[in-house]
Every structure is written in C-alpha cells, then in structure tokens.
Amino acid sequence: MIAPAIADAFRKLSPRRQFRNPVMFVVFVCSVLTTGLWAQALAGHGEAPAAFIFWVAIWLWFTLVFANFAEAIAEGRGKAQAQALRGARRDVIAKKLAAPKRDAGVVFTSAAELRVGDHVLIEAGDTVPGDGEVIDGAASVDESAVTGESAPVIRESGGDRSSVTGSTRVLSDWLVVRIASNPGESFLDRMIAMVEGASRRKTPNEIALTILLAKFTLIFLLACATLLPYSLYAVSAAGHGSPVTITVLVALLVCLIPTTIGGLLSAIGIAGMDRMIQANVIAMSGRAVEAAGDVDVLLLDKTGTITLGNRQAVALHAAPGVSTSALADAAQLASLADETPEGRSIVVLAKEKFGLRERALHELDAHFVPFSAQTRMSGVDMHARAGEPNGHSRIIRKGAIDAVRNHLAARGATLPTTVVKVAEDIARKGGTPLLVVEDARALGVIELKDIVKGGIRERFAELRRMGIKTIMITGDNPLTAASIAAEAGVDDYLAEATPEAKLKLIRDIQAEGRLVAMCGDGTNDAPALAQADVAVAMNSGTQAAKEAGNMVDLDSNPTKLIEVVEIGKQMLITRGALTTFSIANDVAKYFAIIPAAFAGTYPALNALNVMHLATPQSAILSAVIFNALIIVFLIPLALKGVRYRAVGAGELLRRNLLVYGVTGLVVPFVGIKLIDWLLVLCGLA
C-alpha cells in the first residue's frame, strides 16, 4: 500500500484538496510563498541566502506531503479491503418470478435489471442476485464472500433470519426472495463505498476540533503578521541590527500552528472506521463510530449476549401427589416434536435421568401443538388408541406460569400454591420455570437454566469504571431477570420487554441528555434501533433491522456491541492524545525558533537559546524539519490507535497530560538538537 499512498500524497497537493483543512492550507500557502522567495533569491534579490530559503521551502512541502501520506495510507487499507469485496461482487443471471410463488413463471434476467419488490427464485448452486427478504423456503447459504466466515448459515422465511445478501451463494434447497435494494444500493455496494472512505464525512467532534485548530491558526497568523513591522520599527529606532525576514516568519508560523494534529486528524477518523471493518462491523457513517465513543448507556439483550443463550433442562419438580416419573413422562411427550434446544434438553433429561425411551413420533396417535407467542405454551393432544385397556385421551401442555394458569382457569381449575412457590423459587435463582399440566391437573415444574457467560461480569465492571451504564433487556419475568442481572453485574434491567417498552426506555434515557447504544436482529427491534444513537444490526437479521441500524455486524455476534463501544472510545482517545501531544510540541518549538528569529533584532535574546543551537539559520531549519518528520513518526500511532484502557474521564485526562503532554514537551528538545547537530555535520548550518 505504501507506493500507491506516496503517489496519492502528491496528488492531494492540489489547492482544492488542501483548502478542506484550514491548518494544512496555511502550510500550503506558506510553501508557495517560500518557493517564490527562493526563486527571487536566485535572481539576486533575496532577503536571505538562497540555500537557506530553499531548504525551508523543501521541508514545508514535505510537511504537506507527509500529512497527505498519513491520510493516503489510512485510505489505502480501506481500498485494499474494498478491492477484495469488489471481487466478490458479480453480475449473475437471476430467475425472476412472475408471482411470489416457487411454481410461478420464471424469466431469466440480469441481476442489474432487478428492482425493489421483484421476486426471484434461488436454488442450490445459485448466487443470490441482490439483497432481499426470504418469503418462502429455507436453505443453507454460504456467506463467506461477505462475512469471511466459512461455515454456512440457514436462511428461512419468517423469524429473524430471513435476510439474504447479494453475492452470497445458496448451497442446498431453495428460496423465494423479495428484492429489497436497487442496483448500486446493495449492502455490498455500501460496504465498498464506506471502506474506501468515499462517503466519509467529518463527524461533529472532528468538525469542532477543526474549528478550534482554525482559530489557533488565525490567532498565530495575525500575531506573525504584526512581527515584521514591529521588527522594522525596532531596528529603525535602535539604529542597528537587522529585521526579521519573511522566510523566518513563515517558518515561525508553520511551527507555531498545530500542524501535527492538523495533518493527522483525517487519518485518525479513517483509521477508526477501518478498525470497525477489521472487527467485521460495517459502520454506515463516521458519525456512528464517533457516537460509539460517546455512549453513556448500553442496552444488551440477555440471551446470547449476557448468557450462553442455550437454556437446558436441569431438574424436574413434581407437584404434591404426583410421582417424578409421571412428570418426566408427560414432559417428554410434550417435547418430542419440540426442536428447540430447550425441548431437546427435556427429552434428554427424561431419557438419561429417568430411563424413559425416546419414542418415535409415528408410534403415537398424537397431535403436537407448537409454541406460539399468543398462547406461550406448547404440548401434545393424544387420543385413546383402540384395543388398549383403560385407554384415554391426554391433553398435555407446558409453558409459562401465567399461560398455564389461564389454561387451567378455562377448565375450571387452579394452580396449587406449592407449584407456584416452586416456580417462583426457580425464577428467583435465575432459572426459567416451565409448568407441565395434563388435562386440568398440574403435574409439576421443569427447571431450565441459562448460564451467564464467563468474564462478562468483569467486562461490565470495566464499562462502569468508564461511566457507562448497562441495561439488560429480556423477555423473562421480573424475578428471573432480576436474578440474572445480579449474577451478571448489570446496572439495571428491563423484563418482559416489548418493542414499545424498548422504544420508550431509549427515549426516556435520551431525554436525560445521554447517548444510547443497542443491538438487534428482528423486525420488532427496528423501531428501537432507529431511535438509538448507536444501533448495531445483526447481518443474519431482517432487512428492516439492517435498514434501521447505523452499523451492521457481519458476524451476527450480539456481544460485539461492547467491542464497538471500545473502538469508538479508542478513536476519541487517540484524537485527544495526539492533540495534547501536538499542542505541547508547539510550546517546545518556541524555544528553538523565537530566540533565533529575533536574534538579529535583539541580540540579548541569545540568552534564551537553551538548546545551544549552532546558528539562527540552523535553529529555524531544525525546527521546520522536526515539524515535518514528527508527522511521519506519529502515523503508526494514528492508524493503530492509542491503547484502550477502561478508565474514567478524569483519569484519562491526567494520563494524556502526563504521557503525551510531557512527551510532547521533551521530544522536540531532543529531536531539534539532534537535527541541528546533523546539519552542522553536513555543513548546512
């Protein structure tokens, strides 16, 4: 990337490009001015030796080139990634359907001709022609071209895994997809534009810092402009000495203005977005990355983020008068057709702990009732089989306390208080109780347990030290939510969360002047994602969620939200650290340039030459060279970022002042003295 970046650094020297950065535009004007003074000196009308003006001009141009190189190298990393993504994009022949049905008429057409709302059939071996939503079918999809993950994923209609991305490939079965983006507007196109930095705009903090740097530059420009007439007057009044030259004033101005941070500011912003891409998170704007660094509150989903998200049956608690084996038999029957991890774990528990054989579905004359959000129960209806003595129908249900209570109430029965107490005790311990009933009789409780992830409590403690509040969002009842929240160490929780409750919570927090981050993957998360300041949508989620979010996690890992916040804070910390270094750096350069600049006018100022630099010319040239080279040495830090530590704002400020402030004061003294020694050694002093 270095060779293209060098070429880009010279291409960026155009006045139009430099005008976007006030600090570097002043350096550009100074470079042009000193180049003109050098040409005038060659013609015999120079205000200073031609060689001195030449080297000042050369190093001023190098200052611009090095600043451009920092930005170009940051963009180069994105362009390399964009090239790989562009290689994944291809024009394919799509099977466009006349109607949203698999057996509808198929017309073969180019993917470039598909529009929003078109329906396409994608079969095994086909490439997905564009972003869309699965409306029929289920298939295994290879998304490695986009996510880099080699393992295939399942995409199916309905639920939160119905979104497909263009240029991925269907490995098995078939899908009917409704196209959700026009050509040139796909997720892959937006990824390419973002990683290339083509649509990167300055963030609010970056704009504010640019304005501050422009004000500093204007102040020093006015100060330097008054020094020439002041110097002429002083020499005239004293009758001896020589006035300060324009070349020296130009060098003084460039060394006084914050060129270090001015030259690296854009590179820091681009590198921040680049680190998001390396974490497999696509930020739709630089504003989103910056907002991640300013977040005050994190909304985290419980399942899969705080817990492992794989609840397992760990115990059976029979009701009074019911044997545990009878409860195990009923629980197993109700779960035979339940393919969820919870359902399979109940069957396994009944088999391993109670020796119940797993019966084949075809052996049972039964109608299985799947779980639904309305009933919040699942189960089985078994009919009496002919020829069996004492055969009778059995209606078995398992579900949440309230759902089972309503089910029994409809049959004129109630839940025993002992069973309710067992269920509440399980919930209090952080487990999930599932009640099992047969006909109008409660048989007992299945205890499900979801394990809190290792190390998550420590992560939350780090966030707390940074001043970030964590809130767990869960659909569990308040007792279960409170227990898991206490075990995980979150600051607060929202139980029995609905889309409306999430949206209200975010708005209430924002009304307090705080910034909110959350992640989501379902259509029901879209309103909250659209409201949040930092909204990370899962790539496996619905199209609505991805459209509502301002970031997309290609790995679909909910815990990535914590990493996103850390990357955003690292970008802000890096910007603050280098700003501190730049200002301290300028203070130190005063001691090199000011005594040298006015030594001809006020010889007594030589007493301030604390570094004992060889000559006034070498002092000025050494400062200008150091001013250019320090940008090069700081490029790796700007691209990599300052090491992130979970500390508060006060501690962070003290650390910046101690490390980067003190270093910024000391390094120029050492660097300028070393350069002065080399100039003397080379005979340029």
What are all long-range contacts of 421-430, with beta carbons under 8 Å and residues at least 24 apart?
422/317, 424/479, 426/317, 427/476, 427/477, 427/479, 427/480, 427/483, 428/479, 428/482, 428/483, 429/483, 430/480, 430/483, 430/484, 430/487
Question: Nearest to residue 472, comparing CAs of 619, 269, 301?
Answer: 301
Which helix H or strand E contains 321, and what residues bound it?
none
Q: Which residues of 144-157 are buried (b: 16+ CB within 10 A; e: fewer)?
A: ebbbeeeebbebeb
Helices marked H in 239-340? 246-256, 259-278, 286-293, 324-335
Those residues with Cβ within 8 angstroms of residue 334's Cβ, 6 or more apart along the chain or in another chain: 346, 378, 379, 380, 396, 397, 398, 436
Is 173 annotated as a binding-site member? no
Instruction: Report how far residue 347's alpha carbon sits from residue 359's, in angstroms, rounded to the nearest whole number.
Output: 10
Q: Are 509 and 528 in contact (CB under 8 A)?
A: no
Return the DSSP state at 307. B
Instruction: Report how far residue 493's alpha carbon sits from residue 303's, in angstroms, rounded to the nearest whole number.
Output: 13
Angular region, 159: left φ>0, alpha ψ -120 to 50, beta rest: left
Q: Which residues of 292-312 are buried (b: 16+ CB within 10 A; e: fewer)?
A: bbbbbbbbbbbbbbbbeeebb
Q: Looking up tokens 């790995």, which residue turns up?
A: 555
Q: Position 420: which residue type?
A: V
Question: Nearest to residue 344, comparing CAs of 313, 316, 375, 368?
Answer: 313
What are all long-range contacts of 179-182, with beta carbons under 8 Å and residues at least 24 apart?
179/114, 179/115, 179/116, 179/117, 179/118, 179/119, 179/120, 179/129, 179/130, 179/131, 179/132, 180/116, 180/130, 180/131, 180/132, 180/133, 180/543, 181/116, 181/130, 181/131, 181/132, 182/114, 182/115, 182/116
What tokens appear for 409 in the block? 């109430």
Is 523 annotated as a binding-site member? no
Which helix H or strand E contains 395, and what residues bound it?
strand 394-399
Is 294 annotated as a binding-site member? no
Is 450 annotated as a binding-site member? no
Q: Are 209 and 583 in contact (CB under 8 A)?
A: no
What tokens appear for 389 in the block? 């003595």
Question: Exposed, middle or buried, 653 (CB in 10 Å: 0-12/13-18/19+)?
Answer: middle
Is 133 annotated as a binding-site member? no
Is 378 annotated as a binding-site member? yes
281-283 vs 551-553, strand pairing mode = antiparallel
Instruction: Report how far residue 440's alpha carbon sits from residue 356's, in angstroms, rounded to the nearest whole number.
Output: 24
Question: Nearest to residue 382, comparing CAs of 398, 399, 397, 365?
Answer: 365
Is 142 annotated as a binding-site member? no
Is 342 annotated as a binding-site member? yes
Is 440 annotated as a binding-site member? no
Is 371 annotated as a binding-site member? yes
The verdict on whether 301 is a catalytic residue reads: yes
Is 571 annotated as a binding-site member? no
What tokens appear for 127 in the block? 């490439």
The SS3 of residue 153 is strand
Q: Are 534 and 288 in contact (CB under 8 A)?
A: yes
Sheet of 441-449: strand order equals 312-318, 441-449, 432-438, 394-399, 377-382, 366-369
Catalytic residue among 118, 189, 274, 301: 301
Return the DSSP state at 303. B
Is 373 annotated as a binding-site member? yes
Is 278 annotated as a binding-site member? no
Rg (CA), the chain: 34
Annotated binding site: 338, 342, 371-378, 398, 521, 525
Annotated binding site for ATP: 338, 342, 371-378, 398
Active site residues per annotation: 301
Annotated binding site for Mg(2+): 521, 525
